[in-house]
Structure 1
Amino acid sequence: MKRIKRQVRFGYVWAYRKARPLVQYLALCYAQVREYYRTHPKARKWTIAGLIVGGPPLLLLLVVWIEVPGKRALRNIQNQVASEVYSADSVLLGRYYLQDRTEIRFDDIAPVVVDALIATEDVRFYEHGGVDYESLGRVLVKSILLQEESAGGGSTLSQQLSKNLYPRKRYWVLSMLINKMRESITAQRLEDLYTKKELIRLYLNTIPFGDQCFGIEAAAKRFFSVRAKELTADQAAVLVGMLKATHNYNPRLFPERSRTRRNVVLAQMQKYKRFPKETLDSLQALPLELKYNMVSHHQGLAPYFREYLKGELLEWCRNNTRPDGSPYNLYTDGLKIYTTLDSHLQEYAENAVARQMKEVQKQFTDHWRKENPWQGHEEVIQDAIRRSSRYKALAEKGMSEEEVLDELQKPMPMRMFSWDGEKVVKMSPIDSIKHHIQFLNAGFLAIEPKTGRVRAWVGGIEHDFFQYDHVKVSTKRQVGSIFKPIVYATAIERGAQPCDLVSAAQETYIDKEGDKWTPRNMQNDYQVKYTMRGALAYSINTVAVKMIQQAGVLNTMETARNMGITSELPDVPSIALGSSSISLMEMVTAYSCFANNGMAVHPYYITGVRDRSGNTYTDFKPAEKSKRVLKPETAELIVGLLRTVVHEGTASRLRWKYAAHNNDVAGKTGTTQANADGWFMGMTPELVMGSWVGADDPRIHFRSTELGQGSNTALPMVGYFLQQVNEDSEFKTISKATFPTPSRAAQQKLSCDLYELDDTLWGKLEQMTFKQDSIRAADTLNPAPKESYMEKLYKRKLKMRQASQARDSAALRTLEIEDSGG
């Protein structure tokens, strides 16, 4: 502390010594001036008079001069420009902005816009140098001497541009005069620095058009859904007419007033020979036709993806700097963000989700009828109320819980989501919560397994009402049977074979805490032995648990980690049945490893960012290189097993109901406890798709597995998606792709029929069925015993298998089996 005091004292002494000569000089000058005025009284009077008369103007000029931007600032005009997100096929997905503005070149502006602007706002634009003294004098004479209200404005386009770039300020005196002088000087400087075309471009990129849009490009898209260079004369006249008063002449709010103003602008254009009188009459007779495009972050393609992307981009902006060294601003710097999404695939995915969720919501509503789906869990509503933003806002004001609940019971106009369209009804916020909590939600994700590029991302059913994204890694739900292929892959890596027979008999397991757990199957088939191929096809839980015991729980967890699952996995055998909560993103990533020949896949969704200066950043691919997770043969075998699920098992409806029989598809269904979550993972060689369905609160669900299983809720989304892909010739590489022909060794390991004729499960089934049918046919007097449950079950499965191999869609429709707990 003493050292710091000494340094401060030394600093004072040093500063005093340096400043002392200047202070002495100023004191001497002051003494001389004072002595002069003491000996010359008249000079003192004239000086005082001069200060009184000339001081204010000098002060005014000083203030104006200080406020006028320099030429360096005017050379580097930077409007706030929206950043834009583009798909891989160059379609604009959405924008991030504070001001909805897109800057364009002069050549991208329709000539009729320029004609309308000059004819209406500044007819002598090409003749003056920033300030039109002739027009200004005429306005002063008409408005002051002749008292004409229609004298017009005296500001040129350059002066208006100055006002838009540097908004007016309030001063303690003469604010209007100071602002006008500043705008005039700035306008003249702009004229010195820019050509007339450049000034028009700056003006039309800067000017506000109301409805939160800025610049002619944004206005053209907002009011007419066209680009600025596509505007017609009557459309251009509407937009230019708005500049007089953007609210009063807004064509959306005041169509008749806007049409009248449009015709005035058209008359001005004809007056200055922009087109003949006959054209004027036909243009003025046109009705005002808008194609209004309300810009909202909730609307357009991929809103959930864009919202997720925003967080990534904000982080990127904090870590990257502009040429001047300051961090990028996502909302004002006009960045161009290029992504991996395909606009057509994204549209197909959103269509598929909407179509299926409308159907499944009707099933859900009919299923519960007049009962509340939170029946038995009344706390669901209380929890939802406390999570609502309205509850939190009232609580922050210091209101008690009782007061908040009373307030939330009061009816008011509320926006309400429905699959028939948004409605506005009078209801209480609590009733609104009860209404919206009954909706089932969804997630859909598609990734290229060979590259990791995300091609489609649907995080929910309607972003405006349900903003929780069910794709991103932080959103986790129990995954059910879709985890089983990871178990089987681990077992195969450690020597198990797809055609090994495993008993489906129940066993009781004791966990580390000493608790007992007995897995069960949906079908009462515990006395049967299944091959791994059959157990996965029919989602047999007891076999899956025995396989994880054989492979090792820790080994399975390690395999899952290597395949891209980062969620917590407990060291218990029940993870074989998907008891862990994992995100859709993680599961699609893991399945991509199967389709990528056992190589790990690292998803990415940004390919590049370009700023306004043309600087391009492309370092967005995952830094981690893909590594081998599974042996190629293991991946090949798992794909073969998953193809069996689609051909003969719980996902067979994908082929006969959704016309995916022409696709080479593999997949797995999944259903969690109490039908809270329905899953489906689908794979083609070029695309891995994952879908999930469930209520945001898992305590709300179907009571029936027939309705709530993944094959009924989630699988159809992939089915509808593939239908659209198959119909689009652009995606033949996806729809016509086939998995590589399995090696001879893999074919033998998957061809269980070769070894089942005498000893295997299916062989015994065929023999049993043939024997019993032969007895019944031959001995009508002494028929064979009535078919047992197991005989019926396996006859049905056998017929399903035979119909699938024969591609008999009609037979498959009648024989479709339900999802056996998966």
Structure 2
Amino acid sequence: MKEQISSFKKYIIIFWAIIASGIIGLVVFFYGISAGWMGYMPTLEELETPPNSYASEVYSEDSVLLRKFFYRNRSNVDYQDISPNTINALIATEDSRFYDHSGIDLIGLFRVVKGVATGNENAGGGSTLSQQLAKMLFPREKFDHKIELVIRKFREWVIAIRLERNFTKEEIIKMYLNKYDFLNLAVGIKSAAHIYFSTTPDKLTIEQSAMLVGMAKNSALYNPLRRPKMVKERRNVVLKQMYKYGYITEGQKKDLQKKDLGLKYQKEDFKVGVGTYFTEYLRTIMQHKKPERKNYASWQDQKFKEDLNEWNNNPLFGWCYKNRKMDGSPYNLYKDGLKIHATLNSKIQMYAENAVKKHLSVNLQPAFFKNLKHYNHPPFSNDLSNDEINGILKMSIKQSERYRVLKNKGKKFDQIMEDFKKPTQMTVFSWRGDIDTIMSPLDSIKYDMSFLRSAMMTYDPRSGHIKAYVGGPNYRHFMYDMVKDGKRQVGSTVKPFLYTLAMQNGLTPCTKALNIEYTFTLPDGSTWTPQNSGSAKYGENVTLKWGLANSVNNISAWIMRQYNPEGMKKVMRKMGITSRIDAVPSMFLGTTEISIYEMVGAFGCFSNKGIFTKPIFVTNIEDKNGNIVADFEPYRDEAISKNTAYLMINLLQGVVNKGTGSRLRWNKEYGRFTAALGGKTGTTQNHSDGWFMGVTPELVTGIWTGAKLRSIHFDNIRMGQGANLALPIYGYFMHQVYDDTSLGYTQDTKFEKPEEFNISLDCDKDSEKAIEQKTNTVIEEESSDFF
């Protein structure tokens, strides 16, 4: 008997020893997992700040998302900004006991085990939302055998429990929905709502939420673009789950299950949308490294100087490298989730793009195609020799991607040329939409060159905020930015700087000069006499106001003789022109190449009472947590006096009222303005470039129109002048701006006269004809800038 008792105690001890060993073993096992003995385990800091990559976003001043910069298209959104429909669908489908467990749902596990044992495929999954989040935050490695997979599963349990201890339930839901990849570059609920339904997370409906949550089972399988029928079936399962757990009624379930998916798919493509040139410029300059001369070509000395000046004086230029995060590393535009608040107004930007498109597609391009029929080698003008044309084409070929690829394959130039002459299938641009066609690459280069381009910028000269920025006609096909990167001869739009010099030195719009030819003696002893294209009032004493209104070179030459080229250059520098300026007598013809950006900023001095306010792109930048990490204010400087600015406004109004810009007053299609408008047209030699600068009390706009090359242009001044190439765009644009009352701009706003101003501006009241007498048959041909 004693032996039996002793043997029983022995078994009891062995039993409890085994149990104890098992418990101790489990404790050690989980401790080892937690300590990282069995593979990588995230630290507490990594759990608090998971290694997520968030897209940076650019917003307009009216809170419209313009663009994202990303490696993965993920944007962070707060819990309160997620629709309750989405949260309810997620809980009902993925983890109905989410609020009742602490990371591991034992009841759910037993249900799964039972389902496996009984063959019930509808038993559901055992992973909680916290476990699924752990899997997403710290993805599984590749495993050689099943034991490693089991260990990884236990590691996810530990991570899930840690997540539950360190975050609230709401934070876990937020992290899950921000992390999940909904496919098609839709990472996170914010991107998914935008890409699939063109909405925001807080506005997702029940059926939209159900579709997105349904994708969470396997987004690669449940892809609404490829398998809409399967996705609809899965969405209806989610709706069934929502009804099961009381989130919707049976009637709602039945009605919603009948609906189609209702997709409003928007492909994430930075080459389309509003403000494409603007956002691309932001991307470029924010990531610009400090300029070093060795990184610039030998002929880019001016570009290097300008970039270095920007680096030293523009906080936005190279911002990502100039500023550091808390850990000391530079900002990364593609993963740090920055919110960049731009100055651009989405409505004004849209009106600018509409105006450019309308004038180019409806008016100019059809006329230009007709004009090309008169050329021997279209699109090149007849004044080019065959050698010059071949040289241009050869250079264009060498600048193409096709040439680079073929050259890297070891092909010689003659072989490459043969390739460029072979017809191939391609897609080319047209104003009616892209065309799939067969064309040789060489012909496609000529075809591309035959399209006229326009660019424009509008800004508020008081705040310095750029409101519209159109770098070209179509970013996908014409990616070169003519607002900031491009520079062209400015023609007569440079003359207001010369007149500013005159106004500073005591002359007035009513000062008279003799309208005759004036000759300049040049440093080498030769002489130069600028010419007018017309003979109106030749030999008469005319006012400076008439001279600028009609862009008469004789009057500009007279002013230049009173002062000197260096004086004009100093005025231009003071007003913000940073491009290279050659101080020579002929500079008033506009042979200097200047960007639209510079011209708009300089003309802003006239509207802003003499104050130069450098145009800016961004007001502030937030980090991913909503903290403001940068504020931007424009550089300001008193360039000219208030009185000088007001005198110049009067002169510029004369251009619009009775000069080369008068179409804005009488033209039925894009004119008939009653607003206080000033402006200046400009046309360069061979009418290769057409300009218009427009000023109002609140907005300053610069517009350029021309071809990719100056050797491609209209063959007559009637079509090629700035009043025809560029001015109509301004008319189309400003009509849209004034018609949109929500913007707050009206035609009743007047230029403010300085209090101390006492100069008479009523020069020739009796001789002037009323604007109403003008007819639509009038053609104002500028004194074009030939010399």
TM-score tier after normalising by the smaller chain length: 0.7 to 0.9
Q: Distance in 1 between matches of 2:709 and 2:508?
A: 40
CA separation in 1, counterparts of 2:597 and 2:461?
13
Counterpart contact for 1:652–1:816, Cα < 8 Å: no
Q: Is the 8 A contact 1:678 1:692 kept in 2?
A: yes
C-alpha displacement of 1:617: 3.7
The structure-2 alpha-carbon separation of the partners of 1:743 and 1:566, relative to structure 1 and needing over 3 Å to count, comes to same
The equivalent residue for 1:795 is none
Question: Displacement, 1:91?
Answer: 2.6
Q: C-alpha distance in 2, partners of 1:384/1:346?
A: 31
**578, 594, 600: which is aligned to 2:606?**
594
Alpha-carbon distance in structure 2 between the residues aligned to 1:184 and 1:432: 60
Within-5 A mapping of 1:475-486: 475-486=486-497
Shift of 1:684: 0.9
- Per the alignment, residue 290 of structure 1 pairs with 263
Q: What is the deviation of 1:82? A: 1.7
**SS of residue matched to 2:702:** strand
**Partners of 2:587 and 2:477 in 1: CA distance:** 33
| 2:6 equivalent in structure 1 | none
Are residues 172 and 408 of structure 1, via their aligned partners in 2, closer, same or farther at CA, if it must alter by over 3 Å?
Answer: farther
- CA shift at 1:70, angstroms? 2.2
Q: Does 1:511 align with 2:522?
A: yes
Deviations 1:115-134 (A, max 9, x none): 22233223333343323344
What is the one-letter code of the residue matched to 1:216? I
Distance 1:234 1:434, change over 3 A: same
Distance 1:156-1:742 versus aligned 2 partners, 3 A rule: closer
Following the alignment from structure 1 to structure 2, what is the Cα–Cα distance between the partners of residues 421 and 497? 51
- 1:485–1:58 CA distance, 2 compared to 1 (3 A): closer
Is 1:639 the counterpart of 2:612? The answer is no
Shift of 1:207: 0.4
State the SS of the aligned residue for 1:405: helix
**1:339 is aligned to 2:302:** no
Q: Give the counterpart of 1:108 among 75, 81, 86.
A: 81
Aligned to 1:155: 127
- 1:208 shift after superposition: 0.4
TM-superposed CA distance for 1:138, in Å, is: 4.5
- CA distance in structure 2 between the partners assigned to 1:127 and 1:745 by the alignment: 78
Paired letter, 1:364: F
Structure 1 pair 743/217, CA: closer, same or farther in 2 (3 Å)? closer
Could you say if the C-alpha distance between residues 398 and 262 of structure 1 is closer, same or farther in structure 2, counting changes exceeding 3 Å? Answer: same
Residue 165 of structure 1 corresponds to 137
Partners of 2:114 and 2:421 lie apart in 1 by 63
Residue 373 in structure 1 maps to residue 382 in structure 2: no
Counterpart in the other structure of 2:658: 648
Alpha-carbon spacing, 1:255–1:613, altered in 2? closer, same or farther (3 Å): closer
Q: Residues 745 and 223 (structure 1 numbering): CA distance in 2 closer, same or farther, change over 3 Å?
A: closer
Report the CA distance shift for 1:385/1:64 in structure 2 as closer, same or farther (over 3 A): farther
Partner of 2:711: 699
Could you tell me whether the CA contact under 8 Å between 2:103 and 2:157 is conserved in 1? yes
Superposition deviation, residue 565 in structure 1: 0.7
- Per mean C-alpha deviation after superposition, the further-off stretch among 202-211 and 636-645 is 636-645
In structure 1, the residue matched to 2:282 is 309
Which residue, 193, 196, 200 being the options, matches 2:166? 193
| Letter of the 2:426 counterpart | M
Distance 1:621 1:66 in 2: 50
Per-residue Cα deviation, 1:739-787 (whole angstroms, up to 9, x for no partner):
1347897652x33327xx8xxxx6xxxxxxxxxxxxxxxxxxxxxxxxx
Larger mean Cα displacement after TM superposition, 347-356 or 205-214: 347-356
Residue identity (%): 40
Which amino acid counterpart does residue 633 of structure 2 have in structure 1? Answer: K
Cα distance in 2 between the residues matched to 1:672 and 1:296: 37
Q: Residues 241, 753 of structure 1: CA spacing in aligned structure 2 closer, same or farther, 3 A cutoff?
A: same
1:621 alignment counterpart: 633
Partner of 1:24: none
Aligned residue among 512, 519, 523 for 1:501: 512
Structure 1 residues 57 and 279: CA distance shift in structure 2, 3 A = closer
8 Å CA contact 2:185, 2:268 repeated in 1 = no
1:85–1:94 CA contact under 8 A, matched in 2: yes
Q: Which residue of 1 aligns with 2:552?
A: 540
Q: CA deviation at 1:236?
A: 1.3
CA contact (8 A) 1:671 1:710 kept: yes
Render the CA deviation track for 1:649-691: whole Å, top value 9, x for unaligned.
Answer: 1000011123453110011100001111100011111111111
In 2 relative to 1, CA 126–411 (structure 1 residues): closer, same or farther, beyond 3 Å?
A: farther
Equivalent position amino acid for 1:812 in 2 = T
Give the superposition deviation at 1:63.
5.9
Write the mapping of 1:274-285 to structure 2, written as runs, cut at 5 A: 274-285=247-258
Alignment partner of 1:672 is 2:684: yes
Query: Aligned pair in 2 of structure 1 residues 701, 89: CA closer, same or farther (>3 Å)?
Result: same
For the Cα contact (< 8 Å) 2:611–2:636, is it kept in 1?
Answer: no
Q: How many residues align?
A: 716
Superposed CA deviations along residues 128-168 of structure 1, whole A, max 9, x for unmatched, are: 3323344445545655x566776654332222111111111
Shift in Å, 1:516: 4.9
Q: Tell me if structure 1 keeps the 8 A contact 2:646–2:753.
A: no
CA displacement 1:200-232 (0-9 Å, x = unmatched):
111111100000111112101110111122112
CA distance in 1, matches of 2:782, 2:610: 27
The one-letter amino acid of 1:599's match is I
The SS at the match of 2:777 is helix
- More divergent stretch after superposition (453-462 vs 630-639): 630-639
Structure with bigger gyration radius: 1
Match runs of 1:337-736 below 5 Å = 337-358=340-361, 359-369=363-373, 372-375=378-381, 376=384, 377-472=389-484, 474-513=485-524, 516-525=527-536, 526-622=538-634, 624-627=635-638, 629-657=639-667, 658-736=670-748
Deviations 1:578-619 (A, max 9, x none): 011011111111111122222322222221112134432454
Q: Is the 8 A contact 2:621 2:631 kept in 1?
A: no
Structure 1 residue 239: Cα displacement:
1.0
Residues 41-190 of structure 1 correspond to what in structure 2 (within 5 A)? 65-77=38-50, 79-139=52-112, 142-143=115-116, 153-173=125-145, 174-190=147-163
The answer on 1:813 being equivalent to 2:776 is yes
Distance (whole Å) between structure 1 residues aligned to residue 320 and residue 408 of structure 2: 32
2: CA distance between counterparts of 1:378 and 1:510?
38
Q: How far apart are 1:60 and its partner, in Å?
A: 8.9
Q: Give the secondary structure class of the aligned counterpart of 2:407.
A: helix
Aligned partners of 1:557, 1:240: CA distance in 2, in Å? 64
Gaps of 5+ in 1: 1-52, 763-800
Greater displacement, 342-351 / 639-648 = 342-351
CA contact (8 A) 1:169 1:175 kept: no
State which drifts further: 204-213 or 395-404.
395-404
- Structure 2 distance, partners of 1:373, 1:527, is 41
